[in-house]
Amino acid sequence: MVVGDFAIDLDTVVIGSGPGGYVAAIRAAEMGQKVTVIESTFIGGVCLNVGCIPSKALINAGHRYQDALDASTFGINAKGADLDFKKTQDWKQNKVVHTLTSGVSMLFKKHKIDSIMGTAFLKDDHSLRVMQKDSAQTYTFKNLIIATGSRPIEIKGFKFGKRILDSTGGLNLPEVPKEFVVIGGGYIGSELASAYANLGAHVTILEGTSSILPNFEKDMVQLVLNSFKKRGVTVITNAMAKEAEDTGNGVKVTYTADGKEQILAADYVMVTVGRRPNTDDLGLDIVGIETTDRGLIKVDAQGRTNKPNIYAIGDVVPGAALAHKASYEGKVAAEAISGKASAVDYKAMPAVCFTDPELATTGMTLAEAKEKGIKAKASKFPFAANGRALSLAQTEGFVRLVTNEEGTVIGGQVAGAGASDLISELTVAVEGGLNVEDLALTIHPHPTLSETIMDDAEVALGLPINI
């Protein structure tokens, strides 16, 4: 490959190697395309390196630590449990993150996918320039998939630094803080608040609205609030964060609540008030690619922009900013480039929050169904009546099925142990147009948490066995 002023011709180019970009690249290669991935930071993107994966590693470490501190419920009395947080962070980075990102690099090699490290900037609808530290190179392409993801929003008065952190900084703390303030009680804020509380921190969440986790139903959120209370997490709602001051060995956070200005002293403050699409420095305006007021790229059902050879997926397009949504869209775009009739066409997009307990939702809620004029009902089965949940001493939570007049499953929610896994069965039910009888008549192994779904289907039929 010659580097210089001459443009280098490429076939399919993917900008970004996160769960949208790397999946799109692999599927495109499987379809026979010659693929090149351009990545500005690290292979695997935010999710694998500083997002979904490392956060779940810390959450799991927190659970293990709590188990070691107190297993007296099971008649186990362990003494002297000690947390070596440096070792925890090393495990998270070297065993979990590195293993996965190395795996992506191996898959690139297997599928003969080239990768270029650098920042891409579009010149026109068939060429771009990649800037590196000491050089730049122009490339032409036949087709392009934009999968540049998103970044944390920095708010006024909270300039990111050593003690004023975004979610990346929050995941990579050198120590477990004694006092930890989280600005924003959405998915990321609530998950990391839960993780650090389990690891021994006193956590305060400042949420600007009337409730944390606004994307989940109130009875689900209440379970998390109950858990937070047990763990000493302070949740302050309708609180407006004003500024943070790094004092050298800590941080002072000023906020207003109930019309009064308050100050919190902490070791660190983490801001998790949302994310912004990485579309502002791509040169979209130069090419004439249409975007929304929020900077999201407008696409059709195949991920195609108003430029027929340029596609966009994941956090840079409208819809939920979820890794699995990006992967799904990546496959569609890659197949569309190969002439397949693939299109984004789903009834249910599952969403999970890995708090204590886990929360998961898919399809429509009862309220959403009624808003659309659908005559629907909801049935509910408690984890407290499930043998496996009892044996795990994790009886908080429930399964809820949302069904229409014909008994077809159109949505569902799970709050409790294993919710992140159980939600997949409900998603299959929604996508497949299954009836509650299909779930009730499907034999579920005993004793398992999955039986709660069968039991709830029987509740929906009016023929409950276990409650």
Question: pLDDT, tens digit, for every residue of 181-194?
Answer: 999 999 999 999 99
210 is in an annotated binding site: no
Could you say which of 288, 305, 337 is where a domain stops? Answer: 337
Q: What is the pLDDT of residues 53-74, one digit of tens each?
A: 999 999 999 999 999 998 888 9
Task: Give the DSSP H/E element, type plus range, for residue 164.
Answer: strand 164-165
In a domain, 466, yes or no: no
184 is in an annotated binding site: yes
Gyration radius (Cα) of the chain, Å? 24
191 is in an annotated binding site: yes
Residue 227 scores a pLDDT above 70: yes
In a domain, 103, yes or no: yes
| One domain, residues 65 and 120 | yes
Mean pLDDT of the chain: 96
| One domain, residues 18 and 134 | yes
Could you say which of 243, 273, 303 is where a domain stops? Answer: 273
Q: What is the pLDDT of residues 413-462, one digit of tens each?
A: 999 999 999 999 999 999 999 999 999 999 999 999 999 999 999 999 99
330 is in an annotated binding site: no
56 is in an annotated binding site: yes
Could you say which of 273, 301, 318 is where a domain stops? Answer: 273
| One domain, residues 66 and 21 | yes
Contact (CB, 8 A) for 17 and 145 = no
* pLDDT at res. 185: 97
Is 446 considered catalytic here?
Answer: yes
Residue 4 scores a pLDDT above 80: no
Tokens representing 165? 């952190």
| One domain, residues 73 and 127 | yes
Per-residue pLDDT, averaged over 348-375, amounts to 97
Residue 333 sits in a domain whose CATH number is: 3.50.50.60
In terms of residue numbers, what domain contains 401? 351-461
* pLDDT at res. 77: 87
Q: What is the pLDDT of residues 109-119, one digit of tens each?
A: 999 999 999 99
Q: What is the pLDDT of residues 118-160, one digit of tens each?
A: 999 999 999 999 999 889 999 999 999 999 999 999 999 999 9
| One domain, residues 25 and 138 | yes
* pLDDT at res. 80: 79
Per-residue pLDDT, averaged over 199-213, amounts to 97
* pLDDT at res. 450: 98
| One domain, residues 129 and 76 | yes
Of 98, 111, 202, 446, catalytic = 446
Residue 216 scores a pLDDT above 50: yes
Q: What is the pLDDT of residues 301-360, one digit of tens each?
A: 999 999 999 999 999 999 999 999 999 999 999 999 999 999 999 999 999 999 999 999
186 is in an annotated binding site: yes
In a domain, 308, yes or no: yes
Residue 1 scores a pLDDT above 80: no
261 is in an annotated binding site: no
| One domain, residues 267 and 395 | no
* pLDDT at res. 5: 62
Per-residue pLDDT, averaged over 262-280, amounts to 97
